[in-house]
Amino acid sequence: MVTIDDVRAFAGGLPRTSEGLVRDSVRFRVGRIVYLAFSPDETIMGFAFPKEEREALVASEPDRFLMPRTSDMRFNWVHVRLAALDDAEMRELVLDAWRMVVPKSLAAAYDAQSASGPGVDRANGVGPDHQT
């Protein structure tokens, strides 16, 4: 079972990510764009996800994935129950959500750095030690 601390440890290492608290909800953003948000009880994680694909995702696993609130339907957003995720699935969802909000060049640099192993590409702001 994944916890918010697991997500925090992974998302906090993604370039340009910052964490904040808004109305008792932990949120992760790049600049002003939120790509992850948690319910106040930290059992549900909302994440950036293509609108045109969300119905299929929720229908495929309705015990895990949930549609966003009616007021959030206009956004690229969907919810997942944290207890239904393992670590690998969480990392994939978080990374895909982050990729939706960063420049394509930054996502490509991150992917290239991840494929080549640890290190720092300071020119692109990518690497485990880089703080943005």
Chain centre to alpha carbon of residue 113: 19
**For position 118, what pLDDT does the model report?**
56
* CATH number for 53: 3.90.1150.30
**For position 76, what pLDDT does the model report?**
96
Which DSSP string do the residues of 40-98 spell out, in sequence order?
A: TTS-EEEEE--HHHHHHHHHH-TTTEEPPPGGGTTSSEEEEEGGG--HHHHHHHHHHHH
**Contact present, 97 and 27 (Cβ < 8 Å):** no
Is residue 121 included in any domain, yes or no?
no
Domain residues for the domain of 22 are 4-116
pTM of the model: 0.84
Is residue 131 included in any domain, yes or no?
no
If one counts the domains in the chain, the total is: 1
Is residue 127 included in any domain, yes or no?
no
Mean pLDDT by 10 residues, the chain (132 residues): 95 96 94 96 97 97 96 95 96 97 95 72 40 36
